[in-house]
Amino acid sequence: MREAPFGSNVASLLQEAREVGVVVDFVRFELTSEEADALQAHTSEPAYPHCRAAALEGMQVLARRNRERLARLGVTPREPAFRIQIRGEPHGRHVDYDTMLGPSWCTRTRRSRLDGRLRGAASVAEETAAMEGYLRWHHARGRDEDGLDPGLARAFLSPPYGLRASGDALWREREDLFARLLDELFYRLASPLLVHEWSDDWSNYFDSGREWWGTLYYTVGIADADELVVIGASSSD
């Protein structure tokens, strides 16, 4: 596999996400014929070694991006600064697409699942604040009532300091950005996906998130596109 740039539509959406404060990282890989054939089996076992290799390689890419950022800031290699290191081997499990997105996101409506209290909010701004509090409360518990991790939707929509917005902080605009990104990343689900969730004990990348806000790390193989996307997040206040 080799790292490859995202297409223009995805790149534009990722830039928009960064500008409003999203803290989720994305890496795209193009697969060799052998790796693509393993994904075509649509089962976890033959693809697992390739997905684990992608998880490791994705962390190497994030480490390189971190070094490049420090260099742009004028930080020399001898100066103290956070640098991503790999400390061991990741361990993964096969999960479905909805589990990756988490219990707060409905793939049918392409909206967050709001309880009655939030649906009755007096204004969009109030609904936005209430939803952010709801998601943070869920994540502070670590899992929802059904024992599920909060997932990618929570990580994308509710970073530690919230998302920036011009004018009113419209929650639905944030949901639309997330939904459009999912469409472009995963080809509107026209191709089968093979999703693995990975442990967070094998790199210091996860240290800050383990303090409070949380961590996630997924690989998503897209069988018919011969590509794989790594998604990671770890942040704190």
**Spatial CB neighbours of 98, under 8 Å, sequence gap ≥ 6:** 105, 107
Q: Which residue has the higher pLDDT, 4 or 121?
A: 4
Integer Cα distance of 190 and 146 in angstroms? 29
Q: What is the pLDDT of residue 97?
A: 95
pLDDT tier at 43, thresholds 50, 70, 90: low
Q: Rounded mean pLDDT of 7-36?
A: 95
Q: What is the pLDDT of residues 209-229, one digit of tens each?
A: 888 888 999 999 998 899 999
Q: Rounded mean pLDDT of 55-61?
A: 98
Does 114 score more than 60 pLDDT?
no
**pTM more than 0.75:** yes
Give the C-alpha distances (Å, rounded to integers) separating 90 from 32, 36, 52, 87, 179: 22, 21, 7, 9, 28
Q: What is the pLDDT of residues 157-213, one digit of tens each?
A: 888 877 776 544 467 888 899 999 999 999 999 888 999 999 999 999 999 988 888
